[in-house]
């Protein structure tokens, strides 16, 4: 339950480094960092303002061998590429959570890349912009980055050694909301095309949503994520427009949902509501609600916790729907 408490506050987040040092801290010598947007005045990230944004990292862990870094100040969104030793052509865009107020880089990024790489999947960890950090049209900023990331992955398929038809998305908590938004709003015009990559489809082949924030209008919504995304005082119409369960249609990709019944932060009612919408739309879907696991369990769970079963279940689901795992 420690993680549940930590996710309720951003207090204590302190600057450790500027961008160059942070890049070296979050990547290894073999990693590739792919900027999402061209770094020139006409094509800076959509919604950019003159207000400076400073990159920050705060390690929540007391164990240097197992860092738990939170990232804020995403001035230039990027993908961190993690390549497997024996790639099988599949790829996964991994979307960390953090209530749209920070990114849980190790627990919901690096740890996920490790098990996916072991199964032959090339991983792209998305460091997306946080809507409350001064961007205009704040509510569209994360989806702009997610759509652009999927298009860049497909545009660079030969370079990355992947099959552009076998690219999924895996999101956690608020990152699950963003991954779910990508699954349901992949073709929505949220930014102007900037280059040839934007001719590519942003549709995931498959989506995995772990303890996701789903509804922004229902009584069980996670208020912190909603307000960080939309700003305080949002209207019911604005909330419904960005509630994932309200945006499911016949083009929504096969979707895997996993939640813990004892999640005290984002109730499993979120996953249940989305599963019901997927079923009503006749879309392929799977829902797993485990007895225990809490919130933010990632893949660092002892085998005694039921939620520890989710990676194997997701691997089977993804493979069934066209994204093979070794």
The residues, ordered by sequence, that sit 6+ positions from 1 with a Cβ below 8 Å of its Cβ are 264, 294
Which residue is associated with the tokens 């190790």? Answer: 106
pLDDT (mean) for 71-82: 95
Question: Above 70 in pLDDT, residue 142?
Answer: yes
The confidence band for 169, taking pLDDT boundaries of 50, 70 and 90, is: very high
The CA distance from 283 to 232, in Å, is 33
In the chain, domain spans: 30-47+56-320
For the chain, how big is the Rg over CA atoms in Å? 18
pLDDT of residue 30: 60
Q: Residues 231, 238: contact at Cβ < 8 Å?
A: no
Q: How confident is the model at residue 13 (pLDDT cuts 50, 70, 90)?
A: very low
pLDDT bin (cut points 50, 70, 90) of residue 111 is very high
Confidence check: pLDDT of 285 > 80: yes
Q: Residue 44: what pLDDT?
A: 64
CA distance 260 to 248: 23
Query: What is residue 50's predicted lDDT score, i.e. its pLDDT?
Result: 63
How far lies 101's CA from each of 10, 106, 174, 184, in Å?
8, 16, 9, 22
80: pLDDT confidence band, cut at 50, 70 and 90?
A: very high
What is residue 65's predicted lDDT score, i.e. its pLDDT? 81
β-bridge partners, 270: none
Q: What count of other Cβ atoms lies within 10 Å of the Cβ of residue 200?
A: 18
Is the separation of the CB atoms in 323 and 205 below 8 Å? Answer: yes
Q: How far apart are the first and last CA of the chain?
A: 33
For residue 127, pLDDT over 60 is answered with: yes
Q: Does domain 30-47+56-320 have CATH number 3.30.1330.40?
A: no
* Cα–Cα dist 58/111, whole Å: 17
**196 vs 144: CA distance, rounded Å:** 16
- Judge whether residue 19 has pLDDT over 90: no
**The tokens of 44 are what?**
């800076």
Question: And the tokens for 85?
Answer: 């030793």
Q: What is the pTM of this model?
A: 0.90
Can you give the chain as a three-state secondary structure string?
CHHHHHCCCCCCCCCCCCHHHHHHHHCCCCCEEEECCCCCHHHCCCCCCCCCCCCEEEECCCCCCCCCEEEECCCCCEEEEECCCCCCCCEEEEECCCCCCCEECHHHHHHHHHHHHHCCCEEEEEECCCCCCCCCCHHHHHHHHHHHHHHHHHHCHHHHCCCCCCEEEEEECHHHHHHHHHHHHCCCCCCCCCCHHHHCCCCCCCEEEECCCCCCCCCCCCHHHHHHHHCCCCCHHHHHHCCHHHCCCCCCCCEEEEEECCCCCCCCHHHHHHHHHHHHCCCCEEEEEECCCCCCCCCCCCCCCHHHHHHHHHHHHHHHCCCCCC
In this prediction, residue 24 carries a pLDDT of 41
pLDDT at 274 over 80: yes
Q: What does the pLDDT look like over 208-264, one tens digit per residue?
A: 999 999 999 999 999 999 999 999 999 999 999 999 999 999 999 999 999 999 999
Q: Does pLDDT of 316 surpass 60?
A: yes
- pLDDT averaged over the chain? 89
User: Cα–Cα distance between 173 and 213 in angstroms, integer?
Assistant: 5
Per-residue pLDDT of 46-59, as tens digits, reads 877 767 788 888 88
Distance CA 269, CA 207 (A): 18
Distance of CA 294 to the CA centre of its chain: 19
**CB of 254 closer than 8 Å to CB of 209:** no
């Amino acid at each position: 339950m420690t993680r549940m408490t930590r996710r309720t506050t951003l207090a204590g987040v302190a600057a450790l480094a500027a961008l160059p040092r942070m890049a070296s801290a979050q990547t290894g010598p073999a990693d590739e960092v792919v900027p999402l947007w061209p770094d020139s005045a006409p094509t800076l990230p959509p919604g950019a303002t003159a207000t400076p944004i400073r990159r920050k990292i705060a390690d929540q862990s007391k164990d240097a061998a197992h860092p738990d870094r939170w990232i804020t100040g995403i001035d230039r969104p990027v993908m961190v590429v993690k390549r497997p030793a024996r790639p099988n052509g599949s790829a996964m865009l991994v979307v960390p959570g953090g209530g749209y107020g920070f990114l849980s880089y190790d627990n919901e990024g690096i740890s996920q890349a490790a098990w996916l790489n072991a199964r032959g999947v090339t991983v792209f960890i998305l460091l997306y912009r946080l809507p409350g950090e001064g961007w205009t049209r704040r509510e569209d900023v994360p989806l702009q980055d997610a759509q652009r990331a999927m298009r860049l992955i497909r545009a660079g398929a030969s370079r990355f050694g992947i099959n552009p038809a076998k690219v999924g998305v895996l999101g956690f908590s608020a990152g699950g909301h963003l991954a779910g938004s990508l699954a349901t709003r992949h073709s929505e015009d949220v930014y102007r095309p900037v280059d040839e990559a934007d001719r590519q489809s942003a549709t995931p082949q498959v989506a995995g949503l772990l303890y996701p924030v789903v509804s922004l209008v229902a009584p069980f919504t996670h208020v912190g994520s909603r307000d960080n995304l939309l700003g305080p005082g949002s209207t019911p119409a604005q909330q419904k427009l960005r509630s994932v369960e309200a945006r499911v249609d016949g083009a929504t990709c096969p979707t895997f949902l996993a939640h813990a019944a004892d999640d005290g932060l984002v109730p499993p009612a979120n996953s249940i509501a989305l599963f019901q919408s997927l079923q009503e739309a006749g879309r392929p879907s799977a829902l797993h609600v485990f007895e225990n696991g809490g919130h933010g369990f990632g893949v660092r769970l002892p085998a005694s916790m039921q939620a520890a079963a989710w990676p194997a279940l997701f691997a089977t689901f993804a493979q069934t729907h066209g994204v093979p795992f070794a």
